[in-house]
Amino acid sequence: MSKYIDKELAEQIKQEAKLFDVIEEFVTLKKKSANTFTGECPMCHKKDALNVNTKKNIYKCFKCDWGGNNPVKFLEESQNKTYNEALTIMADKT
């Protein structure tokens, strides 16, 4: 059962969560360049297809074209979680 998280707390969690840190919890990332890391895409499972750019704060798979810049959406889609479940995971880590 999902915990209910009010809007104010949800916004605080989203502001404190770092996209790279959230992704790194679920994907083993290797440094590719100064601001870019690569790892296996959790959607298509292609090795080194997922790129995470810490400067631009985005993730993108160059095999299946999946990507974005929202850590909540990353958890919802890659881990098959609801919005509240994703926020709870992020809250536990921040």
pLDDT confidence band for 3 (50 / 70 / 90): low
pLDDT confidence band for 1 (50 / 70 / 90): very low
Report whether 14 contacts 93 (CB < 8 A).
Answer: no
pLDDT score at 5: 76
Compute the distance between CA of residue 20 and CA of residue 31 in angstroms, rounded to an integer.
12
Tell me the chain's radius of gyration from C-alpha atoms. Answer: 13
Residues 20, 2, 15: CA angle, nearest 5 degrees: 35
pLDDT score at 49: 97
pLDDT digits (tens, 9 = 90+) for 27-75: 999 999 999 999 999 999 999 999 999 999 999 999 999 999 999 999 9
pLDDT score at 6: 81
